[in-house]
Amino acid sequence: MARKKKTEIKADNPAAHWIIKDKVVINGRHVEKGTEISITGERGRFKFLRHIYNPAIDVEWIDCYGGKKGTWEWRSFHLGRVKRVHYKKKIRLSDKEIKEQGKLDT
């Protein structure tokens, strides 16, 4: 077997000047890592990973993963393609936990 060639790491990183955030507001809703969103023209739901802004060319996009069931993909979309922001499912508290919180608050 032949050895693999070692590739040189480029000194200039194109992503060095990008502004990367884990939270952003889309369609008036706060989106954080793991929030499900629907994209216009795409089937399935995608989970938000991060928001990226490139000030050099004034472009912004979001990185997501998801899609149709069984075929999860890593994708990037412009903010204008977001159709809907789905809220995370929140676990409902039991009656016992609600009473305990009431006792702690007083």
pLDDT per 10-residue tile (average), the chain, 106 residues = 71 80 91 91 92 94 89 91 80 62 58
Q: What is the pLDDT of residue 91?
A: 47
pLDDT at position 61: 95
Whether residue 72 lies inside any domain: the answer is yes
Q: What is the pLDDT of residue 97?
A: 64
Please report the pLDDT score of residue 5 as a whole number: 76
Please count the structural domains in the chain: 1
Which helix (H) or strand (E) segment holds residue 74: the answer is: strand 73-77
Residue 15's identity, in one-letter code, is A
Residue range(s) defining the domain that contains residue 81: 19-88
Residue the block writes with tokens 């936990």? 97
pLDDT at position 40, please? 95
Instruction: Give the SS3 label for residue 87.
Output: coil
Q: Is 104 part of any domain?
A: no
Residue 73, domain member (yes or no): yes
- Within-domain flag for 31: yes
Q: Which helix (H) or strand (E) holds 99?
A: helix 95-105
- On whether residue 61 sits in a domain, the answer given is yes
